[in-house]
């Protein structure tokens, strides 16, 4: 019953409120057929709300959704014909693996012979041939998630929705499953919307990604765009700019900004056309070098040095107590005085937004699992 391909899925001002709280605010998004889109943000940012709205599991409080020219937000989920993979798998515990995968085909009254063939295909696709007659409870977490994926794709749905499908798996398995999902997406020509709080997962899997914060879209672009050109300090914080330093602007033109704090002065690239007042300078830990003096120069004392194999991940502080995070291959120890250098084009200057601090703080608290050493952090 489903045509596997569509040109575009258009979200038009999609909003969802709970009482007076806006979980999702005026989301405009156009997804092309066969794209892999990641919705990225910390918990409570509205990414799962957006996914459930697309699925039809949550009614919208505003806006509309179109699949090509057909309005679909008024249809119940069972009539949209999308596939969905849930974080906790949500397998039917009273049915065998085969029955789980074949459930959608049965609901759509696919003839028995045809259904059996397609279940066989789906089982083979996720390599569960030897487990197909078991009950879901007898499988490991990774195997269960394969079943859930097979169940979602068995109908060849035009759109597959995935709600943090890997967050219940351990690190090693997560890497394997990432590859596998990406492989399925390409081989089956699927269109996928993938929700995650792990920016590494989003960057490595998606064709384009959407960064959300408090129900509002912050940036929509390819991984390169979002990673290299974050739209604001919040996105920068999420993309591994662990140092977010709030400074006073001294001079600013269209290209460059020079700003200073008590014991620190930086020149950076003007990314949000700031002019005067406060600004935020975002710097990645790996962009610092020890001892290089051309460009910006920061004097710090090492507080903590974490061993990461080839590199050390260091937390240090300036004379006025500002924390600086950097990575280095040189051996430093707590108490060492170090001079750090960073080229001006590696310092991104954004508008200062008072709510950012509190918000980024929440990021680190809510999503500790996915944020590695390069994850977001407070810049103070």
Partner 1 sequence: MSTPTRELPSAASDAAKAGPRPRRRVRIWAVVVWFLLAFFFVNLIALVASVVVDSFGKTWFGGWLPSGFTTRWYSQAWTEFGLSHVLIVTAEVAIIVVVLSVLIGVPASYVLARRTFPGKKFLLLLFVLPILVPPITYGIPLATVLYKVNLAGSLTGVILANLVPSVPFVILTMTPFIEQIDPKIEAAARMCGAKTSAVFTRILGPLLIPGMLAASILVLVRTVGMFELTFLTAGPDSTTLVVALYNSVFGAGIRANQSVDAMATIYTGSMLVLLVIALRFVNPTQLVARGGDTGKE
Partner 2 sequence: MSTATAPAVRPPSNQSSLRHRLAERGVDRTLWLLLPAVAFIVLLFMYPFLYGLGLSFQPSHGGGIFGNYAAFFSDPYLRNTIWKTLGLGLPAALFNVIASIPIAYLMRGKVRGKRLLTTLLVVPITLGTVLTAQGLIMYAGPTGWLNTVLLDLGIIDEPLTLIHNWIGVFLSLIITGFPFAFLLTLSYISGIDPALDKAAATLGAGPMQRFRTITMPLLAPGLVITFTLSFVLAFSVFPSAQLVGDPTGSTRVMSIAAYDAAFQQFDFPMGSTMAMIMAVVMLVVIGLVMLWRTTLYRGATGGKG
Smallest distance from partner 1 to CB 110, Å: 10
Are 355 and 265 in contact by the 8 Å Cβ rule? The answer is no
* CB atoms closer than 10 angstroms to residue 57: 15
Residue 73 CB partners (closer than 8 Å, separation 6+): 14, 53, 56, 60, 63, 64, 65
Q: Which does 228 bind (CB under 5 to 8 A by kind): partner 1, partner 2, none?
A: none
Smallest distance from partner 1 to CB 149, Å: 12
Nearer of residues 62 and 261 to partner 2, judged by Cβ: 62
Of 3, 19, 70, 76, the residue at the interface with partner 1 (CB under 8 A) is 76
Q: Is residue 86 within the footprint of partner 1 (CB under 8 A)?
A: yes
Of 33, 62, 77, 141, the residue at the interface with partner 2 (CB under 8 A) is 62
3-class secondary structure, 239? coil
Q: Is residue 216 within the footprint of partner 2 (CB under 8 A)?
A: no
Q: What angle do CA 215, 219, 223 make, to 5 degrees?
A: 125
Q: Is residue 18 within the footprint of partner 1 (CB under 8 A)?
A: no
Of 83, 158, 375, 376, the residue at the interface with partner 1 (CB under 8 A) is 83
Are 245 and 288 in contact by the 8 Å Cβ rule? The answer is no
Q: What angle do CA 262, 287, 218 make, to 5 degrees?
A: 85
Nearer of residues 24 and 247 to partner 1, judged by Cβ: 24
Give me Rg for the CA atoms of the chain: 24
Of 7, 94, 337, 345, the residue at the interface with partner 1 (CB under 8 A) is 94
- DSSP annotation of 104: H
Q: Which does 227 bind (CB under 5 to 8 A by kind): partner 2, partner 1, none?
A: none
Q: Is residue 19 within the footprint of partner 2 (CB under 8 A)?
A: yes
Q: Is residue 77 within the footprint of partner 2 (CB under 8 A)?
A: no
Residue 87 CB partners (closer than 8 Å, separation 6+): 163, 164, 165, 167, 168
Q: Is residue 17 within the footprint of partner 2 (CB under 8 A)?
A: yes
The span of 40-48, 55-63, 119-127, 256-264 binding partner 2 (CB under 8 A) equals: 55-63
Are 202 and 175 in contact by the 8 Å Cβ rule? The answer is no
Smallest distance from partner 2 to CB 45, Å: 20
- Secondary structure element (H or E) that encloses residue 21, with its range: strand 21-32
Nearer of residues 56 and 375 to partner 1, judged by Cβ: 56
CA 39 – CA 14 distance, rounded (Å): 14
What is the distance, to the nearest Å, from the Cα of residue 380 to the centroid of all Cα atoms in its chain? 24
Placement of tokens 């998004």 in the chain: 29
Q: Is residue 90 within the footprint of partner 1 (CB under 8 A)?
A: yes
Nearer of residues 55 and 269 to partner 1, judged by Cβ: 55
Judged on CB neighbours under 10 Å (0-12, 13-18, 19+), 178 is: middle
CA 25 – CA 213 distance, rounded (Å): 10
Q: Is residue 59 within the footprint of partner 2 (CB under 8 A)?
A: yes
The span of 11-19, 86-94, 109-117, 222-230 binding partner 2 (CB under 8 A) equals: 11-19
Are 350 and 239 in contact by the 8 Å Cβ rule? The answer is no
Of 61, 88, 168, 301, the residue at the interface with partner 1 (CB under 8 A) is 88
Nearer of residues 18 and 92 to partner 2, judged by Cβ: 18
Of 43, 61, 301, 361, the residue at the interface with partner 2 (CB under 8 A) is 61
Binding positions for partner 1, rule: CB under 8 A? 55-57, 76-79, 81-84, 86, 88, 90-94, 103-104, 107-108, 148, 151-152, 155, 161
Binding positions for partner 2, rule: CB under 8 A? 17-19, 59, 61-62
């Amino acid at each position: 019953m489903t045509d596997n391909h569509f040109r575009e899925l258009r979200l038009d001002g999609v909003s969802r409120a709970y009482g007076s709280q806006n979980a999702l605010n005026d989301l405009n998004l156009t997804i092309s057929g066969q794209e892999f889109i990641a919705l990225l943000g910390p918990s409570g940012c509205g990414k799962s709300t957006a996914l459930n709205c697309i699925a039809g599991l949550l009614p919208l409080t505003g806006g509309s959704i179109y699949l090509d020219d057909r309005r679909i937000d008024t249809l119940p989920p069972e009539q949209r014909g999308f596939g969905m993979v849930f974080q906790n798998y949500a397998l039917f515990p009273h049915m065998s693996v085969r029955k789980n995968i074949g459930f959608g085909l049965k609901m759509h009254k696919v003839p028995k012979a045809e259904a059996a063939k397609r279940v066989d295909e789906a089982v083979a696709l996720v390599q569960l041939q030897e487990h197909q007659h078991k009950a879901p409870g007898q499988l490991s977490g990774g195997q269960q998630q394969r079943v859930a994926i097979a169940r979602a794709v068995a109908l060849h749905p035009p759109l597959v929705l995935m709600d943090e499908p890997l967050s219940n798996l351990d690190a090693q398995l997560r890497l394997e499953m990432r590859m596998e999902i990406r492989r399925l997406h390409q081989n089956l020509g699927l269109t996928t919307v993938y929700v995650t709080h792990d920016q590494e997962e989003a960057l490595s899997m998606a064709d384009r990604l959407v960064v959300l914060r408090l129900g509002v879209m912050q940036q929509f672009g390819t991984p390169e765009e979002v990673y290299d050109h974050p739209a604001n300090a919040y996105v920068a914080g999420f993309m591994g700019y662990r140092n977010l330093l709030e400074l006073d602007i001294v001079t600013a033109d269209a290209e460059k900004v020079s700003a200073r704090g008590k014991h620190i002065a930086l020149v950076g690239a003007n990314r949000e056309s700031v002019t005067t007042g406060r600004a935020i300078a975002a710097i990645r830990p790996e962009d610092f070098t020890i001892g290089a003096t051309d460009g910006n120069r920061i004097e710090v004392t090492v507080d903590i040095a974490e061993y990461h194999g080839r590199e050390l991940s260091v937390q240090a502080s300036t004379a006025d107590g500002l924390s600086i995070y950097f990575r280095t291959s040189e051996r430093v120890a707590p108490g060492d005085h170090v001079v750090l250098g960073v080229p001006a084009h590696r310092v991104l200057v954004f508008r200062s937004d008072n709510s950012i601090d509190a918000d980024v703080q929440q990021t680190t608290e809510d999503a500790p699992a996915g944020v590695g050493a390069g994850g977001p952090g407070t810049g103070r």
